[in-house]
Amino acid sequence: MRILHTMLRTGDLERSIKFYTEILGMKLLRQRDYPDGEFTLAFLGYGDESD
């Protein structure tokens, strides 16, 4: 089974990225800021985005 994607809202994005990368071993694949909407999307995973 593969999970394509899911979304989690977080109050502290940097802390969440640190958890997923340092504890779970994921890689930060990309990150994009949306200043007008006042949010940032961060995509993390175990493989390349093309996988």
User: Which tens digit of pLDDT belongs to each residue from 1-51?
Assistant: 777 788 899 999 999 999 999 999 999 999 999 999 899 999 999 987 765
Contact criterion met (CB below 8 Å) for 31 and 11: no
Residue 2: the pLDDT is: 74
Tokens of 27: 């890689």
Write out the residue range of the structural domain in which residue 45 sits: 1-51
Q: Is 23:15 a contact under the CB 8 Å cutoff?
A: no
Structural domain count, the chain: 1
- Chain CA centroid to CA 18, Å: 10
Report residue 48 CA to chain centroid gap: 13
- pLDDT value for 6: 87
What pLDDT is recorded for position 18? 98
Distance CA 18, CA 38 (A): 21
